[in-house]
């Protein structure tokens, strides 16, 4: 069987690390590249975080590319401390002094355009951070979306429930213009794991404990990077997520990755056109669902609504049993 080819665009991020491990563990998936973007932390930290995850899983042969350090418009100094200042829980004392030499020289956006052109209609792009690199890719090559097999996005919201601002989800709020461009111009099959989708399909904290206490290097790594992170503690009970959806363990980016790795993961979805609000004083960055086609767009996306939690749990468990032989 031919393997599914993936490019993973990430702002890693503890949940990005989890999602990346899920792709690495999937037997019928080949990760062509990991492209880095600012978001949970600065782009330089994202690069180092991805290298760490690949090292833990003994998959250093996968090329890592450095991408956008800020949004298309405005300044990019709004990093979240959701997963700590360094994006991986602020627990790592050792910094690889040679990390920059391990990053490819080619810019992430150039690499994306090149790889997708080399494997036309074969590459699935999984976007786990702000969509800046994707927006730049379609500006460099207007045919880029036509050459993609499909696109999976973690980001946006469907009910106007925001996690960083009143109405906007983090990845879209960090670069609303890029989110707008991608949702207007990427005409390939597009699947969106919104904030509400991930929160509504939460797993239990008991499952999380079982997950990170497996006897494998990847599980020990996940246990370490979540050990001092408030998002994985009882403090999180006070977050907006728990106010809206109740308590639970949510590995946001894993939902988009799981849908890409196993298409039977998504049990229900809504298919309709969407647009990102750019002008609003309250709702800037919010994704709007056009279920009655008032915008007269000719491209619809699939917005996931129900996840197979048994399958998701299994993929998460397997993803932390690495390194493994594929
Ligand atoms: Ca992310």
pLDDT tens, position by position, 145-183: 999 999 999 999 999 888 888 899 999 999 999 999 999
CA–CA distance from 164 to each of 96, 113, 172, 180, 272 (Å)? 32, 31, 10, 18, 25
| Residue 232: predicted pLDDT | 80
C-alpha 262/C-alpha 152 separation (Å) is 12
**128 CA from centroid of ligand 1 (Å):** 4
**23 CA from centroid of ligand 1 (Å):** 14
> For residue 274, is it within any domain?
yes
> For residue 63, is it within any domain?
yes
Q: Give mean pLDDT, residues 28-46.
A: 95
| Residue 111: predicted pLDDT | 98
> For residue 208, is it within any domain?
yes
Q: Give mean pLDDT, residues 120-124.
A: 98
> What's the token pair of residue 33?
């590249």
Q: Give mean pLDDT, residues 98-119.
A: 97
**59 CA from centroid of ligand 1 (Å):** 20
Between 15 and 80, the higher pLDDT residue: 15
**292 CA from centroid of ligand 1 (Å):** 31
| Residue 196: predicted pLDDT | 94
CATH classification at residue 238: 3.90.245.10
Q: Is 326 a residue whose pLDDT tops 60?
A: no
**184 contacts 275 by C-beta, under 8 angstroms:** yes
> For residue 325, is it within any domain?
no
Q: Give mean pLDDT, residues 30-53.
A: 96
Q: Give mean pLDDT, residues 248-258.
A: 95
Number of domains in the chain: 1
Q: Give mean pLDDT, residues 185-213.
A: 96
| Residue 78: predicted pLDDT | 58
| Residue 235: predicted pLDDT | 67
**Confidence band, pLDDT 50/70/90 cuts, at residue 222:** very high
Q: Is 303 a residue whose pLDDT tops 80?
A: yes
Q: Is 115 a residue whose pLDDT tops 90?
A: yes
| Residue 318: predicted pLDDT | 97
> For residue 196, is it within any domain?
yes
**155 CA from centroid of ligand 1 (Å):** 9
| Residue 76: predicted pLDDT | 60
Q: Which domain holds residue 303?
A: 4-319
**Residues recorded for the chain:** 326
**16 CA from centroid of ligand 1 (Å):** 5
Decide the pairing of beta strands 287-289 and 274-276.
Answer: antiparallel
**127 CA from centroid of ligand 1 (Å):** 8
**294 CA from centroid of ligand 1 (Å):** 31
Q: Is 238 a residue whose pLDDT tops 90?
A: no
**296 CA from centroid of ligand 1 (Å):** 31
**Confidence band, pLDDT 50/70/90 cuts, at residue 90:** confident
Q: Is 285 a residue whose pLDDT tops 60?
A: yes
**202 CA from centroid of ligand 1 (Å):** 17
> For residue 164, is it within any domain?
yes
CA of residue 206 relative to chain centroid, distance: 24
Q: What are residue 6's phi and psi, to 5 degrees?
A: -125, 140
> For residue 84, is it within any domain?
yes
> For residue 326, is it within any domain?
no
**233 CA from centroid of ligand 1 (Å):** 19
CA–CA distance from 66 to each of 34, 48, 57, 233 (Å)? 9, 10, 20, 31
**158 contacts 275 by C-beta, under 8 angstroms:** no
Q: Is 219 a residue whose pLDDT tops 60?
A: yes
**99 CA from centroid of ligand 1 (Å):** 21
Q: Which residues neighbour ligand 1 (ion) by CB within 5 Å?
A: 11, 13, 16, 128-129, 253
**106 contacts 133 by C-beta, under 8 angstroms:** no
**Confidence band, pLDDT 50/70/90 cuts, at residue 84:** confident
**13 CA from centroid of ligand 1 (Å):** 5
First to last CA, the chain: 14
Q: Is 75 a residue whose pLDDT tops 90?
A: no
> What's the token pair of residue 57?
């899983």
What residue spans of 95-216 are helical by DSSP H? 108-118, 132-140, 144-147, 170-174, 176-185, 195-200, 205-212
**171 CA from centroid of ligand 1 (Å):** 7
Residue written as token pair 């627990």: 91
Q: What is the percent of the chain with per-residue pLDDT over 90, rounded to a whole number?
A: 81
């Amino acid at each position: 069987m031919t393997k599914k080819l993936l490019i993973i665009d990430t702002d890693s991020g503890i949940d990005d690390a989890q999602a990346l491990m899920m792709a690495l563990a999937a037997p019928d998936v080949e990760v062509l590249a990991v492209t880095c973007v600012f978001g949970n932390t600065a782009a330089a930290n994202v690069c180092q975080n991805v290298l760490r995850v690949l090292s833990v899983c003994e998959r250093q042969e996968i090329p890592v590319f450095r991408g956008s350090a800020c949004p298309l418009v405005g300044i990019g100094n709004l990093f979240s401390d959701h997963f700590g200042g360094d994006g991986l829980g602020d627990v790592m004392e050792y910094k690889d002094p040679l990390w920059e030499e391990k990053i490819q020289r080619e810019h992430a956006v150039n690499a994306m355009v090149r790889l997708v052109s080399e494997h036309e209609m074969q590459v699935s792009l999984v976007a786990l951070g702000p969509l800046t690199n994707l927006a730049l890719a379609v500006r460099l090559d207007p045919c880029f979306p036509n050459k993609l097999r499909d696109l999976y996005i973690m980001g946006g919201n469907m009910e106007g429930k925001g996690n960083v601002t009143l109405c906007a989800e983090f990845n879209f709020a960090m670069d609303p213009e890029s989110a707008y461009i991608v949702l207007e111009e990427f005409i390939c099959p597009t699947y969106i794991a919104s904030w509400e989708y991930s929160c509504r399909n939460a797993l239990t904290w008991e499952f999380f404990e079982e997950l990170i206490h497996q006897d494998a290097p990847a599980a020990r790594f996940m246990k370490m990077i979540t050990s001092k992170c408030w998002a994985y503690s009882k403090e999180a009970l006070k977050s907006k997520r728990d106010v809206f959806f109740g308590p639970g363990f949510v590995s946001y980016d894993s939902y988009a990755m799981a849908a890409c790795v196993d298409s039977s993961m998504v049990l229900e979805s809504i298919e309709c056109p969407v647009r990102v609000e750019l002008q609003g004083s309250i709702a800037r960055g919010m994704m709007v669902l056009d279920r009655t086609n008032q915008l007269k767009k000719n491209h619809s996306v699939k917005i996931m609504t129900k996840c197979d939690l048994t399958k998701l749990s299994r993929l998460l468990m397997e993803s932390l049993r690495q390194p493994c032989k594929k």
